A = this chain, B = another copy of it.
Amino acid sequence: MSNQAVEFLFYLVPLGSLLALFYALYLYTFVSKQEAGTDKMKEISAAVREGAVAYLKRQYSGVALFFVIMFVILTIISFMGYLPKVVPFAFLTGGFFSGLAGFFGMMTATKSNARTAWAASKSLNSGLQVAFKSGAVMGLVVVGLGLLDLAIWFMVLKYAFGASIEVITATMLNFGMGASSMALFARVGGGIFTKAADVGADLVGKVEAGIPEDDPRNPAVIADNVGDNVGDVAGMGADLYESYVGSIVATSALAVAAGLGLRGVMIPMIMAVIGVLASIIGTWFVRSEEKAEQKTLLAALRKGTISSSLIIAIVSYPLIGLVLGWNRIGVYGAVLAGLIGGVIIGLLTEYYTSGTYKPTQNVANTAITGPATVIISGLSVGMLSTFLPVLVVCVAILISYFAAGHGDFNMGLYGIAISAVGMLSTLGITLATDAYGPVADNAGGIAEMSGLGKEVRQRTDALDSLGNTTAATGKGFAIGSAALTALALIASFTEKVGVEATHKMEEIVKAGGTAPQWLEQAKHINQFLDITNPQVLIGLLIGGMLPFLFCSMTMQAVGRAAQSIVIEVRRQFKEITGLMEGKAKPDYARCVDICTRAAQKEMILPAISAIIAPVIVGLLVGIKGVAGLLAGSTVTGFVLAVMMANAGGSWDNAKKYIEEGNHGGKGSDAHKAAVVGDTVGDPFKDTSGPSLNILIKLTSMVSVVFASFILTNALFK
């Protein structure tokens, strides 16, 4: 393919972005047109929506303050000469688009919860269609906005500033930090909100007052439903926006390092465009007969994701051959390794967490001897479940590196990065299957609260349980791609350090001076990052500890926030007369407000710690320390995230397995023990675990942005 043709290819990126966004609009219109059900349902849906919007408003205004402060800091640093002047702006847009993706997804989800419940009163398939399409809006908005942000900056830098491809990719790498910061706040804040409401509602409602889940008499019930939207939808949207954009910009930066120039940069971008098309086509396969059963529905969803993967697997081959040249077709091996690796990790996640397989059934069996054995066995399953995903990622790394690079270091790293892009290329549809879960969950709540009848509730439960399976697969993708992206970002970081050092040395030499030795080392930093170097070791140790510290903070935050909900719900039960008899209405808004405030307050410390850790370590222990920190936090973060997500999922489904009538069913001692496991698992799988995905990338992003500053100002060089 000629150079001109490659440049021309770029225009597919804004086109793909618009295609995704317009198709999302089309699906949104479809969802909006559905009936929202009875007045009662509309009322509840409106309350949930109102609470969610109120939360996001507060969260975004809090985060806006953070972004203003960071903007000022970055501007100062850029005026000190450590950053290009455009970076602070790139930082802002990254955060803005990431937040926007979450916002749109959440608006759609809150619109479709009542509509899904109403559609489910007709048939299971109708319910699925509404919920899935609302999930697809989120999926397409995330990829559409991601491509839009990339396209805008690419065009501005190239055509308005006339920047070289090196400068373009370096700048784009910086805006990842904005997206990551936003994602971390959204995930942590949303995660604290949703689990505080969930745990708080359960502890008083189910355990103390003995009323069922989603009972309208429970004052925290609306907050619980709001939580699904702000945590599992808005939080996840921001999270995966960040993964998606992060993997593309990291690959682009490594493309330049590997000497592939614009051609190498185009590959991840065009793969993303193909991904948009493949996802849209995939959504067409998600249909089923009106009277379909749950199994058929799962098959329908699977058909959608598998066909998308196949399209990408087929189209990437000629794309890479034509753009990079057929002599570099080995890069295709990296794409396949990523695609297949993602699928396998998803299946493994399902195996360890689904009630239809041994591991989770064993956890359910230990419930017979009480809560202690449930906790021990759940933690064991979580720990055990790290083994195979780690091996899969290792094999993907090995294949990607050698297939793409044949031993060439930079080409190999490009291969690892592109495998993350391959894994995430089907994001449009995998995110759709993932985001539909909370919608179904909400629909169930609305069906219960508005008294739609047992059959409808059974259908929404079926949809919800289907959502748990797809969510498990989605989580596998999220964490697998996070690990690969983080590794690519570490490579981008060391690459950037080398470039900065070379630049600084040239300046010193030009001014007639001699460059100090540490600058000479930094130029070839890779050669000095050996794991027996004490600075690297210290970084590794601190990095390895960081995910534990982070999880401790987020879990304690959930605990504290849940405690305040417990107190409030108890108060309302006591003070509002006639509440338990259904004669008086609880004060839902107060619970929502308490969760909002608590999440707002509690998200600050963990998020800020994650952001400043690499800078502090860098200023004290130098660039080598930072590199060690990134490697350490990626390794521990990845393993811990898999462990927490799977332990949490396994406890959740062990409880469901017992509820299906095993070991005495609902209300038995075994069930009570399993509920303890499920409650412990809540912050594991929905707050701390998924936040780690972002943590490991954010630390890299921050390090990239502050690389030059750290390089010059470190205490130990």
* Residues of chain A having any CB pair with chain B under 8 Å: 199, 203, 207, 366, 369-373, 375-377, 379-384, 386-387, 390-391, 393-394, 397-398, 401, 409, 412-413, 416, 483, 487, 490-491, 494, 526-534, 536-538, 540-545, 548-549, 551-553, 555-556, 558-559, 562-563, 566, 621, 627-628, 631-632, 635-636, 638-639, 643, 675-676, 679-680, 683, 716
Contacts and interface: CB of A to CB of B under 8 A. Distances in A.
21 contacts: A203-B369, A203-B370, A370-B676, A375-B676, A376-B683, A379-B552, A381-B552, A383-B551, A393-B541, A394-B542, A398-B534, A413-B532, A494-B532, A527-B527, A529-B530, A531-B627, A540-B635, A544-B544, A544-B636, A636-B636, A676-B676
Given A380-B555, A545-B639, A548-B383, A538 B375 contact: no
A401 B534 contact: yes
Interface-centre pick from A207, A377, A412, A556 (highest chain B CB count, 10 A): A556
Contacts of A676: 370-372, 375, 676
Contacts of A366: 559
Given A372-B675, A384-B552, A394-B538, 16 more contacts: A203-B373, A369-B563, A372-B676, A373-B559, A375-B680, A376-B555, A376-B559, A376-B679, A381-B552, A383-B551, A397-B534, A409-B533, A413-B532, A527-B530, A548-B639, A635-B635
B384 A541 contact: no
Nearest to A400: B534
A621 B412 CA distance: 16
Contacts of A638: 541, 544
A377 B536 contact: no
Contact of A370 (B207, B372, B643): B207
A542 B390 contact: yes
Contacts of A409: 533
Contacts of A558: 376
B534 A526 contact: no
Contact of A531 (B207, B375, B393, B536): B536
Given A390-B545, A555-B379, A538 B631 contact: no
Contacts of A203: 369-370, 372-373
B542 A391 contact: yes
Given A555-B380, A556-B377, A556-B380, A532 B541 contact: no
Contacts of A383: 548-549, 551-552, 555
A199 to B, nearest CB: 8
Nearest to A393: B541
Contact of A386 (B375, B494, B548, B559): B548
Contact of A545 (B387, B533, B548, B627): B387
A628 B207 CA distance: 48
A271 to B, nearest CB: 21
Interface-centre pick from A377, A528, A533 (highest chain B CB count, 10 A): A533
Contacts of A412: 534
Contact of A680 (B376, B483, B531): B376
Nearest to A395: B538
Interface-centre pick from A207, A371, A531, A679 (highest chain B CB count, 10 A): A531
Contacts of A387: 545, 548-549
A393 B632 CA distance: 15
A416 B534 contact: yes
B532 A526 contact: yes
Contacts of A628: 531
A394 B541 contact: yes
Contacts of A542: 390-391, 394
A490 B531 contact: yes
A373 B631 CA distance: 32
Contacts of A490: 531-532
A372 B529 CA distance: 43
- Nearest 7 pairs between A and B by C-beta? A383-B552, A372-B679, A544-B635, A529-B530, A384-B552, A390-B545, A401-B534
Nearest to A405: B534
Interface-centre pick from A532, A552, A639 (highest chain B CB count, 10 A): A532
Given A552-B380, A555-B380, A676-B375, A530 B528 contact: yes
A398 B538 contact: yes
A561 to B, nearest CB: 12
Nearest to A609: B387
A384 B532 contact: no
Contact of A643 (B393, B548, B635): B548
A395 to B, nearest CB: 9
Nearest to A628: B531
Contacts of A680: 372, 375-376, 379
A201 to B, nearest CB: 13
Contacts of A675: 372
Contacts of A371: 371-372, 676
A547 to B, nearest CB: 9
Contacts of A545: 386-387, 390, 639
Contacts of A627: 531-532
Nearest to A385: B552
A490 B534 CA distance: 12
Interface-centre pick from A379, A628, A638, A679 (highest chain B CB count, 10 A): A379
